[in-house]
Structure 1
Amino acid sequence: MTLFNLRRGAPAAMLAAALAASVLAGCATTSGPRSSTAVAPYRDSVELAGGIAINYSKDGKRESLTGKFTWQQTKAATDVTLISPTGQILAVINVVPGSATLKQSGKEPRTAPDLDSLTTQALGWTLPVSGLREWLQGYATDASGKRFVASPSNDTVVTRDGWKVEYATWQDDTAAVPQPKRIDLTRLGAGQVDDLTIRIAIRPGTE
């Protein structure tokens, strides 16, 4: 089922584009010494905006998508607004305990017990939204169940649910408290699609 089109000629629109924005530019790593300072303490409430590019293979065909987003997170809820590259609001997603809802202009809302179930129901594969609540801030649970805290000198982790999370660039990796700028996600092992990678770029000044 097509949820929305990100651009003319795009394949089945991906709820995945709900998470980020614009074509990822300026992704070169910062030169100079690497700081070992960890990111700021985890916050239950954050507001972010940035960029996403999604690449995957399905039925032998390579697909790619880009889009725009805003992300508002509280302890009990996550709200994501989808925006096309031309600035059109495509959809609004709300996640609260026990319920995830997708709203699109002129269409009936779609609801599922959680966003993982909603993406599986709509797309046939799962988007790691629950993980992104931590990953966007530089935190994760590693494959052994231990807490991972990112820093410019400790920037890669394999999560308990089978994602490789790489903090490719930082807003300022020499800052006293560096903030993630670009995060590269790779789905490891078998999944509903092949070679799934997601690049997220966080816009400066939105944390």
Structure 2
Amino acid sequence: MTRGARGFAALALLAAALLAGCATPQRTAAPGASETLSGRLAVRVDSQPPRNVSASFELSGNPTHGQLVLSGPLGATAAQARWAPGEAALITSDGRTAYPDLDALAVDALGERIPIAALFDWLRGRPWTGAKFTPRSDNEAGFEQLGWRISLARWSEGWVEARRPAAPVVTVRAKLEPGS
């Protein structure tokens, strides 16, 4: 796997971790609690050339300690991410790439920092308490915070979308499996 492909796998894993941690309102866990969620994930980065990935995912843990597995259409593991305080790792068929934390993994994947702490709240259907937020300017269900638009328009169906409209535009969509 090339560095670019590994970085995009890291992006997909990061996005899945962020989305899977929140896909249905009734699944909000207590701080420090561990849960396992699974579903489908699609990530698009509007770069040149555009990058897309779609996979099944299974997430266990929470924003500070957890594991995420991405699987292909036949169920084979395509990539795995593990994180704990002070460390994160991306594991693919090419081996293991270590990072000091999940933020660093995100920087490698996107070339910039991502508000990971905020995203875990966003994807639970609520704004992050660490920054101001506003209702969406288009009056769609959701909110805007830290330069991202969170759509909850299909929340009742288990869908969540997080979109960063600044270039390159990043769109992440997740659908949680029923009962997950």
What interval of TM-score do these two structures reach, taking the shorter chain for normalisation?
A: 0.7 to 0.9
**1:156 and 2:130 are equivalent in the alignment:** no
Q: CA–CA distance in 1 between the matches of 2:128 and 2:87? A: 23
Q: CA–CA distance in 1 between the matches of 2:179 and 2:41? A: 17
Q: Deviations over 1:106-141 (max 9, x none)?
A: 51x212122221132245345554444323322232
**1:165 and 2:150 are equivalent in the alignment:** yes
Q: Which amino acid aligns with 1:71?
A: L
CA contact (8 A) 1:3 1:122 kept: no
Q: Which has the larger radius of gyration?
A: 1
CA contact (8 A) 2:11 2:110 kept: no
Q: CA–CA distance in 1 between the matches of 2:116 and 2:130? A: 18
User: Which residue number corresponds to residue 30 of structure 1?
Assistant: none
Q: Deviations over 1:128-165 (max 9, x none)?
A: 5444432332223279536x9xxxxx831112x32111
Q: CA–CA distance in 2 between the matches of 1:67 and 1:81? A: 10
Identity %: 24
User: Which residue number corresponds to residue 21 of structure 2?
Assistant: none
Query: 5+ unaligned residues in a row in structure 2: which ranges?
Result: 17-24
Q: Which moved more, 1:82-91 or 1:126-135?
A: 126-135
User: Which residue number corresponds to residue 89 of structure 2?
Assistant: 101
Q: Deviations over 1:19-52 (max 9, x none)?
A: 44xxxxxxxxxxxxxxxxxx44841333211111
**1:198 and 2:165 are equivalent in the alignment:** no
Select which of 39, 43, 50 maps to 1:50: 39
Give the 5 Å matches for 1:72-111.
72-74=60-62, 76-107=64-95, 109-111=96-98
Q: CA–CA distance in 2 between the matches of 1:127 and 1:50? A: 22
SS in 2 for 1:158: strand
SS in 2 for 1:145: coil
Q: Which amino acid aligns with 2:144?
A: V
Sort the Cα spacing of 1:122 and 1:141 in 2 relative to 1 into closer, same or farther, 3 A: closer
Give the superposed CA RMSD: 3.1
User: How many equivalent pairs are there?
Assistant: 163
Q: What TM-score do the two structures reach when normalised by structure 1?
A: 0.64
Sort the Cα spacing of 1:166 and 1:93 in 2 relative to 1 into closer, same or farther, 3 A: same
Query: 5+ unaligned residues in a row in structure 1: which ranges?
Result: 5-11, 21-38, 149-153, 173-180
CA contact (8 A) 1:91 1:105 kept: yes
Q: What TM-score do the two structures reach when normalised by structure 2?
A: 0.73
Q: Which amino acid aligns with 1:57?
A: D
Q: Deviations over 1:82-123 (max 9, x none)?
A: 11122110222112122111122451x212122221132245
SS in 2 for 1:185: strand
User: Which residue number corresponds to residue 186 of structure 1?
Assistant: 163
